[in-house]
Structure 1
């Protein structure tokens, strides 16, 4: 896994893919705020996810963002794909080890990380430290 992680072009990923995704998200949010104002709606989330479905050609992450069980299921799927990509084939075929690794990454890594960085207080503390 270490060898495969070294093969990733992290500079391109962080300065290209992540930045592009963030910029797209901000554009969608701004369009959702504008649509909300024009339609005299009070639900920015509904406007945002409608625009996301239009932009992503039918893919909408509403349930993933609003339901904890769906979020965990989505994260499991992503980690399963990453494990497939990063682990050697013989290690990937060991189902018990793969499931343990997936659950550890999701439950002890990603979910606490997401919870910490989506907490408004954590965001405020980060801004204060800047």
Structure 2
């Protein structure tokens, strides 16, 4: 699996001096999302499968960081999806989703996905963009 951003790039994206705990896991999870956005895109790659154009490579890293940062805002620091629940009960299977606007509510994930898509689109990485080889 391709992981499009490094923990150091993620720390820089967040404005931190060092990667936060769970950064590698969060970037793997976000890279899965970016990979799905790039699934049918056509672009030149290096021998490892990453975009060979430096601007496109940076865009894939930025999109990954945007998604990981959105999940982090939602309280999901590792990308495991555990963030959106304010309470869970095993007996009688009761799950309570967090209220909109609270950490873990998934209200910032959608803008994160939109931002990641826009980053990829501006770099010519979104499928169907004219001029992409």
Same fold (TM over 0.5): no
Range of TM-score over shorter length: under 0.3
| TM score, norm. by length of structure 2 | 0.26
Structure of larger gyration radius? 1
* Structure number with higher relative contact order (C-alpha < 8 Å, ≥ 6 residues apart): 2
Query: Comparing both structures, which one devotes a greater share of its residues to helix?
Result: 1
